[in-house]
Structure 1
Amino acid sequence: MTVQRRIPALLLLLLASCNPRPDTGPVVVSAIGGRPSYPDVNKRPADTTQRLLLDSTAQGLVRFDATGQIEPGLAERWIVIDQGRTYIFRLREAEWSDGGKVTAADVAIILKRAIAPPSRNPLKPFLTAIEDIVSMTDQVIEVRLSRPRPDLLKLFAQPELAVRHENPPGGSGPFRVSATAANSVMLRPAFDPARSPDDEVSEPGPEQNVQLIGENAARALLRFVHKDSDLVVGGSASDWPLVTMTKVAPANIRLDPAAGMFGLAIVKRDGFLASAAGRAAIAEAIDRPALIAAFTPDWGQPVERLLPDKLDSASAPSVSAWATLTPDARLADARQQVATYRLANPGEISLRMALPATPGGNVLWGQIGARLATIGIRPIRVAMNAEADLRLVDEVAPYDSARWYLATACVLCSDDAQTALTAARDAPTMAERATHIAEADAALAADVAFIPIATPLRWSLVSLRLQQWQGNPRAWHPLNRLRNDTN
């Protein structure tokens, strides 16, 4: 009887701890990044706030839905023909932010500009198969490829390929900017030009608006804890320690099953890092389970190979020789490599490690730096943009190709690996591409060109009013897919 009386009280406590908010007023979103603005792709990659603004006001041909799957954007439907070498998109009726009609010619020009020099679009290296983008009619676009690319839609869904005007700035929706402030914008659902004149169109309620705020992680956390926001997005390992120090209910903390890379790129190949054995010693020294536990056990399993799965490779993922050793054997081998190097090169061995100047960067420095010291290497911490020997890579995969992982890992890699990667890029058939990808994977594993540690840690804080939020491998959460009645 006592237990029965306690259950309702415990449920009330749980609900209270989950930070419930009434579903009234605009959805307030704190994005960890700078102020909301349109990025200049000729200068630097967009941050989370900029990417969300792009995705919300200037969608691409297709978009990601709440689960990270492809859904229509500007294109209402599409077909793939010519053995995967031609994509034909039929555009829906859409308007620019100034009310002008979006035409296929507009879209073709904008997309070609996004992937041509001098654009520094980060997706450009993975779009080299595009030969041309042409408008066939006012509503039909054809994308012609020199080689088949089955994952092209996932690239077109990225905010970096959003279709937008420069003047006035903006695109076709699904939102319009209705008001701006120093670090925020108010987004209002866009007018649907395809509706019938006879349709009864109700004015969007305030709860269908979204206020997008760009701020640092600490401010975003405080805003959420004080119930002044409904969602925090863009969280990574860099700022995760702040979550553990803040009183956020566990039910509000969500982790994405993000696919991608988290590890150390070899950016200098001299001294101790000139040999594959020396690079392997660094990989052997890192205690991955302890590093992950220092953040959260919910992060996932340690990663010891470049590819998460076979993907579009002809072979199963290659494994470096060091990864086949037991933890004790790895540490012993790493110490032996340091001792052997010192016999030929007397003196101190030091390595510069570029890590973010954030709480998460501090944890990484403590974990990795201590392990390097254990094998006899003096670690030196430097800024992310400074000259370094090792540099943190923390990136979510934009699409599911093994070549993305291998090309991202190959900051500096062997001639064999680079040759195989180039051959994979230029392969005329998917079978040949898969063979060259497998060759590149094997070469990179033997070369120890990258030191994998984990998958990317991506977190959000989500209020209970946002019932459509779902974790997904892209770690992407469109602002029009947060509430059940949003467009």
Structure 2
Amino acid sequence: MALASCNQRPDSGPVVASAIGMPPRAADPSRKALDTPARLLMDATAEGLVRFDAAGQIEPGLAERWIVIDDGMSYIFRLRTAQWTDGSPVSADQVVALLRRQLRAGSRNPLAPFLTAVDEIVVMTPQVIEVRLRRPRPDLLKLFAQPELALWRPRSGGAGPLRIVHATASPLLRPAIDPGRADPDDQRRTAPEDEVRLIGERAARAIVRFAAHESDLVSGGTFRDWPLVASAGVAPANVRIDPAAGLFGLAIERRVGFLADAANRAALAGAIDRTALTGAVMAGWEGADRILPDQLDSAAPPAVPGWSLLTPEQRRDALRARVAAAGAPVTLTIALPPGPGATLVYGQVAATLVTAGIAPRRVAADAAADLRLVDLVAPYDSARWYLAQACRPCSTEAATAIEAARDAPTLAERSRLIAAADVALTSDAAFIPLARPLRWSLVALRLRQWQANPRAWHPLNRLRDDTK
């Protein structure tokens, strides 16, 4: 019966995609943070040099091919023949200017701090640009594939692979004409099945729309709204979970009072029952007790906190003893986003604190707080990204090692410094890992190209089968 219910959508007409967030609008990432609908719109209409395919792997974007030379210190990109939305040709000079703007000092682009290895971006010929590095970065392409580095001009728009044909609050997107192909007239004759309508809305509305068979996709789901899926009657075959890699935990933002002592912070981290916390939100959600999910590009396996060797009872006793030794009432504020999943997470953390004699208080996600929930998918596979995100703040030793790893002249030295920073950050108990990020989508069976992947990223031009 469940399979039958998820097959009721006809394999015809435009794909209707709901993304959790605000109605989508194109915006300059150097000036404004992008939510899921805006990122999807940017990725669809303004690709970067490279982009992610359905499996989260690198595929050509504005660059039709590239080479890496000088021991990884230079990336040379050959641009394809392309047009901006207004029909004007894309030039190498324009591409270089746009990339420089995203990486300039003062940019609000969230990827800019992780691209400091870029020394110069220069035009070599009208079709070729070069990105020169100060230090080798084997993960550069994964950063360039992010929607925040899509190439978009305020008046000219982007260069596809889709273009907006109806600029409403829920824009209709259609495949862009490729000037490199010999049949531009044929490209103008598209079928409705080639089109995508993108809707930005609250999770509850998106889930109801999907359950009513009025949409084909819900994208951008997180732990916050997962409990709504279970009550919506969506067929299990339509529910997809990404093996997302990233950080989910509590950053210790105010190191004062009880949290000024690293031993207190470690006791708090150890006392939280991760199995109960993740199970309260979703059965099978994977917990985490360390910052790094794998060794990645570190010279050593992930550092393990000392409390992980204790039994759950010993961990709870340790926190109670630290609170009793504080000699004064302990109150901690916890900043969390709204949503039923966030309420369940708060309930589990608060139960730990209350049992230990700590008074918890929940505050808004953007309010000043002692503990703040961090829920991020990693844009690329470097241990340094995890450590830099977890240092909010951290000890001088850990911060110095993280910065030194960024500036390391060789990959071997970078790996060594990353391992040292991991040990220092774990000893400092600056971050409380809780789980892997939870990312979910609702997917109609007609979207045969959709694939779960560690980036939790699903381009709008990679949903339906190419053969359709």
Normalised to the residue count of structure 1, the TM-score between the two structures is 0.94
What amino acid is the match of 1:312? Answer: D
Selected match of 1:148 from 119, 130, 136: 136
| Structure 1 residue 245 displacement after superposition | 1.6
Partner of residue 7, structure 1: none
Contact in 1 for aligned 2:2/2:236 (Cα 8 Å): no
Letter in 2 for 1:476: W
Counterpart for residue 166 of structure 1: 154
- One-letter amino acid of the structure 1 residue matched with residue 197 of structure 2: Q
Aligned residues of 2:75 and 2:130 also touching (Cα < 8 A) = yes
Partner of 1:414: 395
Alignment equivalent of 1:209, drawn from 195, 203, 206: 195
1:367 to 345, 348, 360: 348
Unaligned runs of 5+ in 2: none
Partner of 1:484: 465
SS in 1 for 2:51: strand
Structure 1 match to 2:210: 224
For the residue of structure 1 that corresponds to 2:122, the secondary structure is strand
Q: Distance in 1 between matches of 2:88 and 2:32?
A: 29
Which of these residues, 338, 345, 370, is aligned with residue 323 of structure 2? 338
Deviation of 1:44 after TM superposition, in Å, equals 3.7
1:430 maps to what in 2? 411
Which residue identity does 2:265 align to in structure 1?
R
| Alignment partners' CA distance in 1, 2:392 and 2:184 | 58
**Greater mean alpha carbon deviation, residues 115-124 or residues 68-77:** 115-124
Equivalenced residues, count: 468
Aligned 8 A contact 1:235 1:458 in 2: yes
Asked if structure 1 preserves the Cα contact closer than 8 Å seen for 2:227 and 2:340, the reply is: yes
What is the CA-CA distance between 1:364 and the residue it aligns to? 1.1
2:292 match: 307
**349-358 or 392-401, larger mean C-alpha shift:** 349-358
Give the Cα–Cα distance (whole angstroms) in 2 for the partners of residues 65 and 152 of structure 1. 16
Aligned to 1:121: 109
- The equivalent residue for 1:318 is 303
Residues 200 and 223 (structure 1 numbering): CA distance in 2 closer, same or farther, change over 3 Å?
closer
Give, in whole Å, the separation in 2 of the partners of 1:218 and 1:77: 42
Choose from 375, 390, 393 the match for 2:374. 393
Q: Please point out which of 38, 44, 50 is paired with 1:62.
A: 50
Provide Cα deviations, 1:389-429, integer angstroms capped at 9, x if missing partner. 00000000000000000000001100000110111000000
Aligned to 1:136, the other structure's residue is in SS state strand
User: CA-to-partner distance for each residue in 1:77-114, whole Å, 9 max, x for gaps?
Assistant: 10101111100001111110011111111101000101
Report the Cα distance in structure 2 between the residues aligned to 1:410 and 1:486, rounded to whole angstroms: 47
The one-letter code matched in structure 2 to 1:178 is V
How far apart in 2 are the matches of 1:126 and 1:202? 40
Q: How far has the Cα of 1:197 moved from its partner?
A: 5.0
Aligned to 1:243: 229
- Partners of 2:187 and 2:380 in 1: CA distance: 37
- The separation in 2 between residues aligned to 1:52 and 1:201, in whole angstroms, is 23
2:61 corresponds to 1:76: no
Q: 1:9 aligns to what? A: none
Q: Which residue of 1 aligns with 2:243?
A: 257
Q: Is the 8 A contact 2:281 2:345 kept in 1?
A: no
Match of 1:96 among 84, 99, 103: 84
In 1, Cα distance between equivalents of 2:400 and 2:297: 18
Map 1:452-471; keep pairs closer than 5 Å.
452-471=433-452
Contact 1:19 1:249 in 2 (8 A): no
Q: Deviations over 1:195-249 (max 9, x none)?
A: 1259855711101100000000011011101110000000000111111121111
Deviation (angstroms), 1:284? 1.6
Is 1:45 aligned to 2:38, yes or no? no
Cα deviation for residue 486 of structure 1 reads 7.7
Deviation at 1:325, TM superposition (A): 1.3
Residues 298, 436 of structure 1: CA spacing in aligned structure 2 closer, same or farther, 3 A cutoff?
same
Inter-partner Cα distance in structure 2 for 1:486 and 1:396: 31
The residue type equivalent to 1:23 in the other structure is D
1:446–1:47 distance in 2 versus 1, CA, 3 Å: same
Residues 295 and 197 (structure 1), Cα distance of their counterparts in 2 relative to 1, 3 Å cut: closer
Aligned mates of 2:396, 2:313 — CA distance in 1: 32
Separation in structure 2 between the aligned mates of residue 200 and residue 81 of structure 1, nearest angstrom? 39
> What is the SS of the residue equivalent to 1:298?
coil
| CA apart distance, 1:119 | 1.5
Q: Given the alignment, which residue of 427, 437, 451 partners 2:432? A: 451
Decide whether the 8 Å contact of 2:30 with 2:102 is kept in 1: no
CA distance in 2, matches of 1:288, 1:195: 54
Structure 2 Cα separation of the partners of residues 236 and 370 of structure 1: 23
Deviations 1:172-217 (A, max 9, x none): 1000000022x31000100010012598557111011000000000
SS of aligned partner of 2:171: strand
Contiguous gaps of at least 5 residues in structure 1: 1-12
Instruction: Return the letter of the residue paired with 1:450.
Output: F
SS at match of 1:184: coil
**Paired position in structure 2 for 1:405:** 386
Does residue 267 of structure 1 match 2:253?
A: yes
Partner of residue 195, structure 1: 181
2: CA distance between counterparts of 1:351 and 1:272? 9
Separation of aligned partners in 1, 2:213 and 2:186: 35
SS in 2 for 1:472: coil
Question: Match of 2:369, as an amino acid?
Answer: A
On the 8 A contact 2:178/2:184 being kept in 1, the answer is: no
Q: Structure 2 CA distance, aligned partners of 1:473 and 1:308?
A: 12
Percent identity over the alignment is: 61
